[in-house]
Amino acid sequence: MIRSRAGFVVALLVWAAAGPAIAQNLDPASQDALDTVLHVLLDPQARSGELASNLQGAAVDQQTRILAGSDATAQELYQVAGEVLKELAQSSGGDPQKMLEAVDRARTDPAAFAAMLSPATLQRLRDLSVKISDTKRQSDTKR
């Protein structure tokens, strides 16, 4: 289950970024960039404004809503993606090249990518995965 959900989170990270790693302090420019991306991910109004001019992002957002099954669950998915992005930025020291390399590696080895996440973030991802799966099963049963 984590494989498919982790793959989707990787897609979100690609859009957002266009054993557990050791966290590093971010330089001010990297922290500002991370804060901006997190604002877009977590604030539905800011996200809508950004998606109006980003076709790739709009497509990912549409997939997010379909996968999530509700706006509330989609927002939860964006929140978890934000946590993953924060951890990725910290583990890479804010180096965009290292972040992209980690995301690229995650495409072929999502379990290794998941292993770099904190236990709390991994648990949120698992819980959300179960919630989405349960919603899909309920939806399929009603058909």
For 43-57, the pLDDT digits (tens) are 999 999 988 888 898
pLDDT for res 139: 67
> Closest Cα partner for 21 from 95, 82, 124?
95
pLDDT at res. 12? 52
CA–CA separation, 64 and 69 (whole Å): 8
pLDDT at residue 17 in the model: 44
Q: Average pLDDT over the chain, rounded to whole?
A: 81
The pTM is what? 0.76
How crowded is residue 131: how many other Cβ atoms within 10 Å of its Cβ?
A: 16
105: exposed, middle or buried (C-beta count within 10 Å: 0-12, 13-18, 19+)? middle
pLDDT at 36 over 70: yes
What pLDDT digit, counting tens, does each position of 77-111 carry? Answer: 999 999 999 999 988 888 888 988 998 988 899 88
